[in-house]
Structure 1
Amino acid sequence: MKFAIQTRNDTLSERLRDEAKGYLSDFGLEYDENEPDIVLSIGGDGTLLHAFHKYIHRLQHTAFVGIHTGHLGFYADWKPLEIEKLVISIARKEYDVIEYPLLEVRINYRTSDEVATYLALNESTVKSPEVTLVMDVELNGEHFERFRGDGLCMSTPSGSTAYNKALGGAIIHPALPAMQLTEMASINNRVFRTVGSPLVLPSHHNCVLTPVNGPDFMVTIDHLQLLHKDVKSIEYKVSGQRVRFARFRPFPFWKRVHDSFIASDE
């Protein structure tokens, strides 16, 4: 079995990387940054997002596991002191693979047939660089609303605990194949109206955003910020591809939610 390691590049993460690499090599596993079967992410959830996008071309062949060197994360659930236990489990292949849904983002342009396509593990956001964002929101081919405000966020179920939650969106169990559209500071008055609530869309639905007041938009794909010019429309749907995580022990999603947002350090 081949493995690779992604780190946060701090002192602790680098030390844990060297330990894990040495242990796994002693067990006969091969270090391969190009075609790994399993990727260890050492740092936080952001580190795993970097690993996901680095190996996005190998989602059907690569599984991810996270070791957190700070606060407990939703993707990084192993502690530094457990590194030897984790390595032994990897070497013995004592793990199951679980899959979570991803978000597919397609950006169409006005003056060309080119289409930019991305996959997001957490979310994609759309903002206007200088003015209020005005977008027509279309659901399954039918006009739903004209949005005016700071921006829109479309998240995956596993990403619902990230930026989406900060915007007041719902927390969705990652086993559900869905996506969630959440508003950023929408303008609602006697003239302009939006639904004002997050929308949870099932996997057979699609959402198309069509610009009203300008063709240039700042689009984020997880941690990546991309300026797209001359945009005709932005399409969202639940991707047919899924991310794979190596699961070595039970770690229920709702316990993770409780430990991250409710449990105190006292």
Structure 2
Amino acid sequence: MKVSIYSNHTDDSNRVCESIMNELNKTNIKIDDENPDVVITIGGDGTLLSAFHHYAHQIDNIRFVGVHTGHLGFYTDWRDFEVSEMVEGLASDNGQKISYPLVCVDIIYTDGTVDNFTALNESTVKKIENTMVCDIYIKGELFERFRGDGLCVSTPTGSTGYNKSVGGAVIDPSLVGLQLGEIASINNRIFRTLGSPIIVGKDQYLDLVLNTDEQLIVSADNLQAHNMDNKKKIAKIHYEISPHQISFARYRHTSFWKRVDEAFIGGIK
């Protein structure tokens, strides 16, 4: 097995990284940052998201293992004091995994060029200034004209993130699909939207046709910003479930709803 260690380089994470290296030296596992079989992330969900984007071009051949050095995350299964147990699982690995859906995003510019990227949690589109106006199409059919600050398109596992903060539903990841959430929509007797989240199935797709010549920002997992070039204007953004998935090595994978309970409710018994 070949593994890579991806850390946020805080003092705690550096300490855990050293501990993992010491444990790995007792095994036949090799360090390979270029073509790893497993990526070990040390930090939190933000670190894992960063690692996902770093290795997105190899996503079909990689599994992730998350070690958290702070609060329990949605993608990090191991605590910093469980390094020996985690490495023991790696050493006896038989390829077990659990996989989650991703969202594929195509940004089509008015000059005909296209940018493509993939998000694990969500993609947002916002206008830098004033109100954003766009027509929302569901599987090629016009649904509504949106006016407001922006829109958020999330995956089921990403539904607990930014999507939840804008009033979206928390979705079980076994229900593969996309959720469209409104960010501060304008609703009055002249301008109307549905005013609630929209969830579409895995065979559906979303198109946001922009009615503006002004600059917009499209983000992926709040880590990457697209269309910062003032010379390029977005005509349309296409969202669909990616044919690829993210996979986690399933040595001890915490269930999604247990994570939701611990993160937002506090483990009520």
Instruction: Give the TM interval when normalised to the shorter protein.
Output: over 0.9
Letter in 1 for 2:90: I
Letter in 2 for 1:101: P
Partner of 2:188: 189
Partner of 1:31: 31
Give structure 1 stretches of 5+ with no counterpart: none
Once the 2 structures are TM-superposed, how far is the Cα of residue 264 of structure 1 from its aligned partner?
6.5
Letter in 2 for 1:147: F
Q: Deviations over 1:204-257 (max 9, x none)?
A: 101100111225211101121223531110000011111111111252211110
Once the 2 structures are TM-superposed, how far is the Cα of residue 95 of structure 1 from its aligned partner?
6.2
SS at match of 1:34: coil
2:131 pairs with 1:132: yes
Partner of 1:91: 91
Q: How does 1:210-249 map to 2 (within 5 A)?
A: 210-222=209-221, 223-228=223-228, 229-249=232-252
Once the 2 structures are TM-superposed, how far is the Cα of residue 177 of structure 1 from its aligned partner?
1.5
Give the Cα–Cα distance (whole angstroms) in 1 for the partners of residues 259 and 77 of structure 2: 9
Partner of 2:22: 22
Give structure 2 stretches of 5+ with no counterpart: none
SS at match of 2:61: coil
Q: Deviations over 1:51-99 (max 9, x none)?
A: 1011111111100011111110000121111111001111111662111
Give the Cα–Cα distance (whole angstroms) in 2 for the partners of residues 108 and 25 of structure 1: 48
Tell me the TM-score normalized by structure 2. Answer: 0.95
Letter in 1 for 2:264: F
Further displaced range: 211-220 or 10-19: 211-220
2:166 pairs with 1:163: no
Partner of 1:56: 56
Partner of 2:2: 2
SS at match of 2:60: coil
Further displaced range: 94-103 or 136-145: 94-103
Partner of 1:66: 66
> Identity over aligned residues, as a percent?
45
2:248 pairs with 1:256: no
Partner of 1:147: 146
Matched positions, count: 264
8 Å contact from structure 2 (residues 261, 267) kept in 1: no
Are the structure 2 counterparts of residues 72 and 95 from structure 1 closer, same or farther at C-alpha, using a change threshold of 3 Å? farther
Letter in 2 for 1:171: V
Taking only aligned residues, the RMSD between alpha carbons, in angstroms, comes to 1.4
2:119 pairs with 1:120: yes
Give the Cα–Cα distance (whole angstroms) in 1 for the partners of residues 108 and 226 of structure 2: 14
8 Å contact from structure 1 (residues 95, 248) kept in 2: no
